[in-house]
């Protein structure tokens, strides 16, 4: 029976209740985690508060050493953790290893270095400006990159000298348990990191309202983020939000169309489309539209959907029955609203497991539900435009602004269009994801930035000393 990790010890939940963890490929229950209670949150926040004075006063180099040891252990345990993520979340094993596990290990290692190297003071005229640890951090994370999202918060928080109470997603919580074991093994002092698994409205809300929590760092849906921010406002906490997206892949007429379409399909379907920054809308000039649709269908046909442990699978199942139903609902909606289904659909390719075929809609027009709302599944909408201005206008015309891409004949032209977009990250002619560059959203995609030095700043308060 799994237990919560509070104050440096494995502890039974006060609730005595559990949550089933289900393998989305087999639909079988594979584990159970405690359904934490507000009393558990109380104990964890108290432990984090008690640990804060000495952890924040610990030499940055010492903190960095502990984080480096944790990153090493995470790397050593990566094959096993990748299997865990493939099992509770459904990502294909190779992807689970490389992206879901080794990438966050690299991010943690980078924060181990930044703990010491990041300057914590500067002179501004006659003042000395110092950056201090924010305090107790409540971290609430989703299931789609279950370890990465945790590291994006825990790495910089611990490097900054904050203490942490983590509530991982109840849907794919097992990687968080492995991380707690690692922090314990490397000797992180008691109370510096605490794990309370459980449901959002119970554990997450208790964390967001707790007066001894100084900052809530939330990643998840815009609806839940809005709720967390409003609860946190009661005690005027700092709030960092990493929310949903509906990102546009803008392909300009002078771009290399086959390359742009192929990369666009790959980006949309990565992690079975369960990626907040997925380029789920492909914008193509009217003159190239039919070619783009044909190329996209050709590329998407190569995406074998199946068992995450089968090497031939490029896409695994969706994470849960709920998520599968949500995606199927959107596919039906797209057809009802007149978009043209050119690949995939609502039929599952397997009898068991929460699978959805790679799906492509053509003739998608601005304002359709599938063009506006985050689907979070392998569903691509291809939208025609007539001018660069119209492409920018369509790209920006959603409530989100998390990521996107621009493809053009020259980097200069792509950069010029990217500068016009109201979004947090833009890939230029296929530029790859950089885990040291700031990541976060404009508009309702969020508040604040994660990763790299910008991500560390989220966990630092600023004090001016007038000399
Ligand atoms: P979700 O909002 O349902 O849950 C995220 C986390 O919030 C979970 O731990 C959940 O238990 C908790 N939660 C839910 N309701 C809560 C409440 N009332 N109070 C406090 N906590 C609550 O999201 P999900 O389904 O786990 O993840 C998918 C969503 O996450 C998508 O919208 C996706 O775009 C977003 N996401 C964003 C980023 C980013 O960096 N911007 C990254 C990954 C995922």
Q: Which of 279, 252, 243 is nearest to 388 (CA)?
A: 252
Q: How far apart are CA 56 and CA 78, in angstroms?
A: 29
Amino acid 349: pLDDT:
85
- Which pTM does this prediction carry? 0.98
Q: Which two tokens stand for residue 46?
A: 């108290």
Q: How far is the CA of 169 from the centre of ligand 1 (A)?
A: 8
Name residues whose C-beta falls within 8 Å of residue 329's C-beta, 6 or more positions apart in sequence.
none
Confirm or reject: Cβ of 371 under 6 Å from ligand 1.
no
Q: What b/e sequence results for 219-248 when a residue is b if at least 16 CB atoms lie within 10 Å of its CB, and e otherwise?
A: bbbbebbebbbebbeeeebbbbbbbbbbbb
Name residues whose C-beta falls within 8 Å of residue 117's C-beta, 6 or more positions apart in sequence.
none
Confirm or reject: Cβ of 357 under 6 Å from ligand 1.
no
CA-to-CA separations, 200 to 167, 218, 221, in angstroms, rounded: 8, 11, 11
Amino acid 1: pLDDT:
77
Residue to mutate (ligand 1; options 195, 206, 220, 221; most atoms within 8 A of CB): 220
> HSE (CB half, 13 Å, CA atoms) of 120?
19
Beta bridge partners of 229: none
Q: How far apart are CA 228 and CA 93, in angstroms?
A: 33
Name residues whose C-beta falls within 8 Å of residue 310's C-beta, 6 or more positions apart in sequence.
none
Please name the residue whose Cα sits nearest to atom 8 of ligand 1. 169
Q: How far is the CA of 276 from the centre of ligand 1 (A)?
A: 10
Q: How far is the CA of 98 from the centre of ligand 1 (A)?
A: 23
Amino acid 212: pLDDT:
98
Q: How far apart are CA 357 and CA 315, in angstroms?
A: 9
Q: What b/e sequence results for 42-59 when a residue is b if at least 16 CB atoms lie within 10 Å of its CB, and e otherwise?
A: bbbbbbbbebbeebbebe
Q: How does DSSP assign 327-369, residue by residue?
A: HHHHHHHHHHTT-EEEE--S--SSSSS-----EEEES--TT-H
Contact 73, 182 (CB under 8 A): yes
Confirm or reject: Cβ of 221 under 6 Å from ligand 1.
yes
> HSE (CB half, 13 Å, CA atoms) of 158?
34
Q: How far is the CA of 322 from the centre of ligand 1 (A)?
A: 14
Q: Which of 65, 216, 232, 212 is nearest to 153 (CA)?
A: 216
Contact 67, 161 (CB under 8 A): no
Q: How far apart are CA 259 and CA 346, in angstroms?
A: 28
Q: Taking the alpha carbons of 9, 14, 17, 20 in that order, is the dihedral positive or negative?
A: negative
Q: Which residue has the tokens 């309202």?
A: 209
Residue to mutate (ligand 1; options 224, 233, 320, 446; most atoms within 8 A of CB): 224
Contact 221, 244 (CB under 8 A): yes
Q: Which of 157, 165, 162, 156 is nearest to 138 (CA)?
A: 165
Q: Mean pLDDT of successive 10-residue segments in the chain (467 residues)?
A: 96 96 98 98 98 98 98 98 98 98 98 97 98 98 98 98 98 98 98 98 98 98 96 97 98 98 98 98 98 98 97 97 98 98 93 96 98 98 98 98 98 98 98 97 97 98 98
Q: Which of 57, 14, 4 is nearest to 165 (CA)?
A: 4
Question: Catalytic residue numbers?
Answer: 242, 276
Confirm or reject: Cβ of 227 under 6 Å from ligand 1.
yes
């Amino acid at each position: 029976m799994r237990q919560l990790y509070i104050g440096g010890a494995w502890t039974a939940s006060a609730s005595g209740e559990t949550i089933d963890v289900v393998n989305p490929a087999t639909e079988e229950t594979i584990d159970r985690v405690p359904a934490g209670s507000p009393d558990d949150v109380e104990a964890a926040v108290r432990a984090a508060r008690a640990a804060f004075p000495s952890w924040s006063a610990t030499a940055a180099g010492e903190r960095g050493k502990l984080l480096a040891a944790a990153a090493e252990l995470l790397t050593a345990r990566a094959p096993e953790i990748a299997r865990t993520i493939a099992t509770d979340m459904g990502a294909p094993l190779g992807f689970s290893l490389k992206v879901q596990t080794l990438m966050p290990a690299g991010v943690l290692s980078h924060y181990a270095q930044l703990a010491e190297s990041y300057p914590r003071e500067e002179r501004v005229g006659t003042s000395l400006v110092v950056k201090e640890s924010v305090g107790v951090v409540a971290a609430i994370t989703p299931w789609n990159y279950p370890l990465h999202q945790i590291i994006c918060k825990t790495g910089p928080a611990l490097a900054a000298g904050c203490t942490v109470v983590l509530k991982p997603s109840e849907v794919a919580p097992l990687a968080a348990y492995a991380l707690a074991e690692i922090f314990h093994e490397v000797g992180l002092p008691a109370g510096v990191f605490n794990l309370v698994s459980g449901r959002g409205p119970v554990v997450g809300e208790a964390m967001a309202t707790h007066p001894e929590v100084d900052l809530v760092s939330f990643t998840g849906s815009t609806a839940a983020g809005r709720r967390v921010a409003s609860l946190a406002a009661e005690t005027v906490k700092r709030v960092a939000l990493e929310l949903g997206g509906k990102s546009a892949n803008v392909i300009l007429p002078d771009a290399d169309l086959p390359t742009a379409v192929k990369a666009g399909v790959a980006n949309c379907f990565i992690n079975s489309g369960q990626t907040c920054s997925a380029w789920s809308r492909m914008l193509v000039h009217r003159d190239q539209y039919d070619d783009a649709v044909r190329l996209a269908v050709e590329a998407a046909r190569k995406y074998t959907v199946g068992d995450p442990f089968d090497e031939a699978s490029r896409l695994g199942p969706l994470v849960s029955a709920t998520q599968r139903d949500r995606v199927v609902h959107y596919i039906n909606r797209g057809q009802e609203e007149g978009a043209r289904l050119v690949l995939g659909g609502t039929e599952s390719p397997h009898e068991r497991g929460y699978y959805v075929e790679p799906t492509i809609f053509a003739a998608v027009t601005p304002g359709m539900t599938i063009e506006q709302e985050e689907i979070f599944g392998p569903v691509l909408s291809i939208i025609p435009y007539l001018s660069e201005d119209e492409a920018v206008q369509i790209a920006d015309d959603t409530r989100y602004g998390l990521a996107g891409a621009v493809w053009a004949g020259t980097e200069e032209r792509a950069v010029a269009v990217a500068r016009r977009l109201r979004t947090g990250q833009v890939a230029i002619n296929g530029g790859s994801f950089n885990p040291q560059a700031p990541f976060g959203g404009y508009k309702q995609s969020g508040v604040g930035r994660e990763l790299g030095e910008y991500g560390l700043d989220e966990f630092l308060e600023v004090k001016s000393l007038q000399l």
